[in-house]
Amino acid sequence: MSNEKLLKRALLDEIAIRYGTDKSSKQHDYMRFYEFYFSSFRDQEFTFLELGVGPEDNKGKSLYTWSEYFKNAQVVGVDIRPDAKTIEHDRIIVEIGNLSSLNYLQTLARKFNQNRIILDDASHMWSHQILAFEVLFQTLESGGLYIVEDLHTSFRSLHEQSYADSPVDAFTYFNHLTYCICGRGAQHRNGEKLTLSAMQIALAQQIDMIAFYGKTLLIIKK
């Protein structure tokens, strides 16, 4: 059986191609992975929070995709650019703020405190990816999904460290969570190389599964 059967390019990818988001199989090919996890929520009422609405030529393409696929979901986009507001429509709303700010993230977490899916496709700066996760993961429902896209930005060869604004890159941060989960807190034989914060250890206890698919990562909350 080929992998195409398990992770099918299906409806979500078709919609993504129609709106032209780079998450479709024309570019990053994330949708066949997401649909595997998203399909059981299709008709349900819930909140989908996406960090990053998109600059001019890409604006709102993923938000329109989620809104069409999830017929009853409230889709919330967050972006630093005030013009992102122009894509608001029917069940799509846009919040304007700076996701590098702890204060702003906490405000966002208070306003949207029960999310089913959170997807981080904003600046890809390592510190922003890590901080957003540490603040917003608490707002996920049990069984909810937290996604961090474009983790290739953690690798020097691809982006020459233009996203490197913290000592630990986002890929390493999330990879270290897998050690906590798999080892249930026990020290791994490479343990001396792991630097886990108290926050990471606490968050790992709330995680059921972490899956890496190409350049993206999906976490299921217990």
Q: Which is nearer to ligand SAM, 100 or 178 (CB)?
A: 100
- Exposed/middle/buried for residue 162 (C-beta within 10 Å: 0-12, 13-18, 19+): exposed
Q: E strand or H helix at 143, and its extent?
A: strand 140-148
Rounded CA-CA distance 201/187 in Å is 12
Structure tokens of 94? 């846009």
Catalytic residue among 124, 128, 159, 188: 124
Rounded CA-CA distance 203/173 in Å is 12
Based on the residue annotation, tell me whether 28 is a catalytic residue of this protein. no
- Nearest approach in angstroms of CB 93 to ligand SAM is 15
Q: Which is nearer to ligand SAM, 61 or 116 (CB)?
A: 61
Give SS3 for 145: strand
Q: Could you say which of 15, 73, 108, 122 contacts ligand SAM (CB under 6 A)?
A: 122
Site for ligand SAM in 22-41 (CB under 6 A): 22-23
Under rule CB under 6 A, residue 166 binds ligand SAM:
no
Which positions are catalytic?
124
Residues that bind ligand SAM (CB under 6 A): 21-23, 50, 52-55, 58, 61-62, 79-81, 98-100, 121-123, 128
